[in-house]
Amino acid sequence: MAVDPQGNDIQRFLQEDPGGPLVMMNLVKFKEGGRASFAEYANAVMPFMLKAGAQPLYAGDCSTPLVAEPGQTWDAVMLVRYPSRAAFLQMVSDPEYQRFNHLRTAALHEAVMQATLPWAASP
């Protein structure tokens, strides 16, 4: 199962950049006992997020799915606004940030990191 972005994922993320801010949606499934490791990761990387100009918008546990196929349920969701894709990539490329990424990798069974873009305002 996918947990961390790979080289091709990052290239596509940059190539498809429309410019401007984005909200990164993170859906995660924890390995057994992984919640504590993920909490440690989240606390450790918060200063890097703030330095990158990121704004945590929401983090919470997922509850009963209303519509989902079997296996499509998640343990937690996080929404984080970044000023740009470049700011996000600069953050995750920082060697100091990388010192903590193993905590995330060890904690997760599966993850989705989905860049989202705001819809144009309706007239």
Residue that wins the pLDDT comparison between 4 and 16: 16
> What SS3 state is found at 18?
coil
Question: Which CATH number is 43's domain given?
Answer: 3.30.70.100
Number of domains present in the structure of the chain: 1
Residue 36 lies in a domain: yes
Residue 16 lies in a domain: no
Residue 92 lies in a domain: yes
Q: Rounded distance, CA 121 to CA 111, Å?
A: 30
Residue 111 lies in a domain: yes
Residue-level pLDDT at 121: 65
Residue 10 lies in a domain: no
Dihedral over alpha carbons 95, 61, 64, 82 (to 10 degrees):
-50
Residue 38 lies in a domain: yes
**φ/ψ of residue 92, rounded to 5:** -75, -15
Residue 8 lies in a domain: no
Residue-level pLDDT at 50: 97
What are 60-104's pLDDT values in tens digits?
Answer: 999 999 998 988 899 999 999 999 999 999 999 999 999 999 999
Helix or strand holding residue 120 (H, E): none
Sorting pLDDT into bands at 50, 70 and 90, what band is 4? confident
- Tokens 């990121």: give the residue: 54
* pTM summary value: 0.89
State mean pLDDT over 6-32: 91
Q: Which range of residues forms the domain containing residue 31?
A: 21-63+74-116
Residue 69 lies in a domain: no
